[in-house]
Structure 1
């Protein structure tokens, strides 16, 4: 049975912070050209070429195209890009590359090679829940529970342990940072549902044979009784 939940996490400074609340102030960052992300060098070079020639930020007299490509690859794409927090994932233009065609473009096409290459984009991001999330039914007053039950800790029975935490994404594009007026929608668009268009499966089965009915946008399942810290253990080398 699917149950709406609230997720909490703790930091060294504060315990039981609800994701999405005013106290939820964790800032997250992504590095595009991270070694483990393995972004193809051709994508980085093509994106740098477009930015150099079309963005108007770099005057040709300031640096050559080759120099800018190297700066973009070795410096710019290795900077930390802010992407929001746990309740909102932002993917700004610093995290996209251009992967469109560069050959076989019709001679009568209105777009040149640079524009054709920029017409298809690949966006890079990452998301995770806190290492040890605490799960309760949505709307639960944790402070009141702690007051009436002699306190609150990680083992309190109010926390849900059985089942999965399902992370549902609502994808939108925005302009000029206006979150309240999305430019494009992925699911609630007037004429089409992109999840269905791409073959999203609403019935899935896990490795234990349990069947689940999904909603459009359900992307990630987390075990409610486990932590990412379970994947690591301290060992002393000999």
Structure 2
């Protein structure tokens, strides 16, 4: 499955309904790429924007009259969320406390995760910034002990099939291509970690996902 953001293979397209537009300029103020301009007291697509429309949807979101539709990505007007001021806002101290309570867990209960909770996590992740250049974000989800075991087995097979790349004689040849810092990280951390993952897996121990009841891998596509 994929969390839709912007397609890199196509630019965004802005459609402005001149009958609904009042020329208030709100869309021009939020567009950082100069894709919209006010001409003849109405908003219009600019002929030479800085980077081209990345379909962020801000202009569509702020238009008070619904005069703008952005296409070129999977965003739709129904995806926009109105904040009417009644929604409780989190202040700095509350947000900081949430960050400070974050922990990296490696011990898990043998308990299934409610699929509804999984979907809630994915829904929350879909609001993450899309970055530059815009791209789709894919996510692989594996849930339960069986999926964990299958993923670990596949990972070990992949490492074993490519182990010549991570061998000591081969590593120095990679240094000119990846730079000294990345070479040191590869030699001192990545390669030993891969070897330990394989070694422990052969003993029946999973130090890759630690048999977590739910694991997600997000990647740019």
Which has the larger helix fraction?
Answer: 2
TM class, shorter-length: under 0.3
| Higher relative contact order, structure no. (Cα contacts within 8 Å, ≥ 6 residues apart) | 2
**Given the two structures, how large is their TM-score scaled by the length of structure 2?**
0.24
Look at both structures and tell me which one has the larger radius of gyration over its CA atoms: 2
Using the size of structure 1 for normalisation, the TM-score is: 0.22
